[in-house]
A = this chain, B = another copy of it.
Amino acid sequence: MKELSRLLMQMEFIREIDKLKYIQRKTKLFNSERHENDAEHSWHLAMMVMVLSEYANEPINVLKVLKMVLLHDIVEIDAGDTFLYDTTKDHTNTDEELIAAHRIFGILPEDMAKDFTEIWIEFENGESNDAKFAKAIDRLEPILQNISNQGGTWTEYAVSFDTVYQKIDKIKHGSTFLWDHVEELIEDFRKKV
């Protein structure tokens, strides 16, 4: 089972994904002017899953959800960061991202490439309980960041609160409890601006 050729593919993948640390997001760190990169973002989501999993609407497989958030943005190494409030490009499941998934996960041994691609597609589809919760957490982090940064990307790109609510609606599908809290945070913030 332990073959060197298999390990070499895995090592190449480990080197390749280092590039995620250069993919800059539009959102900034908490109370900061510094943009967040995708690797930092993915780590933060994983920690949030560890801390908040008890609030999922339905029972979830924490290990699966962790894998989802850890690898969900790896396609952006090729496809680039897609901004949630971009009006010209849809956020989910672009052809470009699918090609990227095949190239990057395809560096791995076949069984593992298949496994990682399936986890990524499950996340993108957002239909399983695990994916719904992972998506909720992915939406939650930038909201907290934006509120800490006087509106952050909402202010910078003049995004209306209607649009914000439309885009973050997915939180509800993962956790109505977290949604209620988020709504309150946004309304509190709205009163101040």
Cα separation A116 to B15 with both chains bound (whole Å):
29
- A131 on the interface (CB 8 Å rule)? no
Per-residue interface assignment for chain A, residues 2 to 21, with 1 indicating a CB less than 8 Å from any chain B CB and 0 otherwise: 10100100110111011011
Binds B, one of A38-46, A92-100, A121-129, A152-160: A38-46
Q: Are B51 and A30 in contact, with the CB atoms below 8 A?
A: no
The range of chain A's interface size is 35 or more
Q: Are A43 and B39 in contact, with the CB atoms below 8 A?
A: yes
With A30-B15, A63-B63 in contact, do A21 and B47 touch (Cβ < 8 Å)? Answer: no
Distance in angstroms from A69 CB to nearest chain B CB is 10
Partner of A10, one of B11, B52, B148: B52
Q: Are A70 and B52 in contact, with the CB atoms below 8 A?
A: no
- A75 on the interface (CB 8 Å rule)? no
Per-residue interface assignment for chain A, residues 145 to 179, with 1 indicating a CB less than 8 Å from any chain B CB and 0 otherwise: 00010000000000000000000000000000110
Distance in angstroms from A138 CB to nearest chain B CB is 14
6 new A-B contacts, CB < 8 A, other than A2-B55, A63-B66, are: A17-B47, A18-B29, A20-B43, A46-B70, A50-B67, A51-B108
